[in-house]
Homo-oligomer: A and B are copies of this chain.
Amino acid sequence: MSSASDYVLHPIGVVRSRLTSRAEAPRQGAEGAPEAWVEVDPAFAGALAGVAAGDEVILLTWFHLSRRDVLEVHPRGDLAQPLAGVFATRSPDRPNPIGLHRVRVLEVAAPARLRVGPLEAIDGTPVVDVKPVLTPDDG
């Protein structure tokens, strides 16, 4: 059932944000990140049916500026902290740099755009999935 092509992500949209560099992006959305737009490719508009303002959703993004050969980092870039494995951190540098962002949908606009917030991903970040939050402690 599996082949190499099974593992190729197809971006379904892109983040449009006033954040334009990793340096200015908060490390997490709750740390002062702004609102942003998710511009979904109209080819996937049907997949948004039922997504509405007020919903909490989980955006999955592709950290396109990340390094994939990093296995250990100083958490939060703080050299005073000992090295930790990237699977014990939320570092964007990791073998598969998928970003996970819990945001609220603030507006749904034609043809297939979502205003969301807070979102720490920078302008131009590819979006690969949108999932509903199922429970208060949902992953």
Contact = CB atoms under 8 A, between A and B. Distances in A.
Interface in A55-102: 55, 57-58, 60, 62, 64-65, 68, 71-72, 83-90, 94-96, 98, 100-102
Contacts of A55: 88
A72 B49 contact: yes
B88 A10 contact: no
Nearest to A130: B87
Contacts of A138: 102, 139
A53 B53 CA distance: 38
A131 B90 contact: yes
Interface residues of A, number: 57
How many protomers of this protein does the assembly include?
2
Interface in A6-51: 6-12, 28, 30, 44, 46-51
A98 B60 contact: yes
Contact of A85 (B47, B84, B102, B134): B47
A48 B96 contact: no
A123 B115 CA distance: 38
Interface of A: 1-2, 4, 6-12, 28, 30, 44, 46-51, 55, 57-58, 60, 62, 64-65, 68, 71-72, 83-90, 94-96, 98, 100-102, 126, 128-139
